[in-house]
Every structure is written in C-alpha cells, then in structure tokens.
Structure 1
Amino acid sequence: MVRMNPYLSFKDSAREALEFYQSVLGGELDVSTYGDLPEMGADPAEQGLVMHGQLETPGGLTLMAADTGSMMQYVAPTSGITVALTGGPDDLAYVTAAYEKLADGGTDVMPFGLAPWGDHYGQVTDRFGITWMFNVGTA
C-alpha cells in the first residue's frame, strides 16, 4: 500500500518538535541521529541532530521529520505547506485537543469551531513554524 506522509524539515529543532508533536498526538516516536550513521559524514558537532524521526500516532498518522545538517541547504517551512489533521464526528475530541495544544504558543490562529459548510474547522501555525489545518466532519 502506498502512503503519503508529511516530512518536516528543521534546522536543529527536529527532536524538540517531534517530542512536542508526540505529546499532542500520542503515539510511538523513533529517532535516529547523524551520530547513529557515521557514513552520513556529518560534522562532529552535529552528531546529535536528527537524521530521521518518525512518529506513528494511534489514529494512523505518520509524521516524519529531520534536522538539516551543514552538508545540506536548509529550507524553512513555507505558508504553502500545511499538515492537515482531519476526521469524522467520532474524532472531534481528539482533534479539538490537538488544535488547542498546537495553538498554545502558535500564531495566525483561526479558532477551531463550526464553519459555514457544517464541519468544525480551524488553522494555526505552531511554535515551530509549521502550519496546521483541522477539519472534522459532522454526522
């Protein structure tokens, strides 16, 4: 089965971001550092940076992230990229809690609430600069 998953890029805060997302979304987090793979040729000062991190949430979302070592060019998140967290009526409490935690310290907040088209909807750019969109359908 082919899957499409968000892969977030950070300069040097991937571990902090992934641990925050785990506290928000739950799930199992697996992190590999550049030091775990010396063949990557990372600068010795960057051995603790995340080469690959993967969060598997209880609801089936896979969120991946990495730090950008000095051997690569860092590209900051843009407003054109959004992580969408969506669900149905049974997911309202989970998505509402995730929205509230991601909005804490976030910017560009569009309150999560009932939208004109009948779904619950909201948006936020979290403290790491990642833009999230939330949509929960109603019965």
Structure 2
Amino acid sequence: MPTRLNPYLSFRGDARAAMEFYQRVFGGNLVVNTFGEFGTEGEQSDQVMHAMLETDSGFTLMGSDVPAEMDYEPGNAITVSLSGDDGDELRGYWTALADGGIVSVPLERQMWGDEFGACVDRFGVPWMVNISAPRG
C-alpha cells in the first residue's frame, strides 16, 4: 500500500453516526471496529475504536470515539477541504454536509472566480468546498 495522508476525526460517543453520515455523503466502503471487539467491556464497548471510509473517488476518512477517560476538546485548528472541477459532485457533497450544520460562507461564486463555501457539519467538523472555475 502506498503512503497516504488523510483526515482522522475524533468524536465523543457519536463516531458511528458521523462515519455512517459521511458514507451516505461520499459513498464507499465503511469498516467500523468497536472497543468491545478488542476486549473493552461496559459502556464504551459499543463505541468506535477505529473506523475507515474508503470511497470510489479515492477519499479515505478515518475516525473514532475518544474514551471518556481521555480529554476531548473539539477544535477549529483543522478543516477538511474538498476541491476540484466536478461541480455537480462537489455541490452534492456540499448540500449533504451543510444539511443540519452551520454555513459560515454560502457556496457561491467568489472574487477569485471559483465557487466556494464553508460550513461546520452536524457533528462539529469544519468543511470547505471549492469548485474550480474553468480556466482559459
């Protein structure tokens, strides 16, 4: 397998719902492993130890629940960016990600010529979508 760089998202108890949501948005194959599968008993046994979504578009998104005994502080230091020139595909992702979330920049034509939008999805993950304008 070649080396790859991809987002790894942390959640507090709703990683499964978030990763299933992203699978509905992007499609692909989702593999979820729980803490219970690796010997954890009790309340956290059904929480996600590791989840990986691999899509037909080549995206890989990973995530997990942060155990209760570990610090969890959602932050704004990372934003997941989707960009390209397939407007229909990217607008579809935007619509799904923004649904139930907070839009800070509506997806619309910007001064640099591209369509761009920014939102925080229903799970608190920030996203940017940029649709490249035809150059020429």
Q: TM-score, normalised by structure 2?
A: 0.92
What pairs up with 1:10-89 in 2 under 5 angstroms? 10-38=11-39, 42-76=40-74, 78-88=75-85
Deviation of 1:115 after TM superposition, in Å, equals 1.3
Aligned to 2:46, the other structure's residue is in SS state coil
Cα distance in 2 for partners of 1:15, 1:115 equals 35
Aligned to 2:122: 127
1:101 deviates by 1.1
Between the aligned partners of 1:110 and 1:5, the Cα distance in structure 2 is 24
The secondary structure found in structure 2 opposite 1:117 is coil
Q: 1:7 to 1:14 in 2, by over 3 A?
A: same
SS of aligned partner of 1:47: helix
Equivalent pairs counted in the alignment come to 133
Cα root mean square deviation, aligned: 1.3
Segments of 4+ moved more than 4 angstroms: none
Deviations 1:76-128 (A, max 9, x none): 2x12210001112xx21111011011111111431112111111110000111
Deviation at 1:133, TM superposition (A): 0.4
**Offset from partner CA, 1:39-71 (integer Å, 9 cap, x none):** xxx452110000000111121110000001124
Name 2:101's counterpart in structure 1: 106
The whole-number CA distance in structure 2 between the counterparts of 1:101 and 1:127 is 10
Q: TM-score, normalized by length of structure 1? A: 0.90
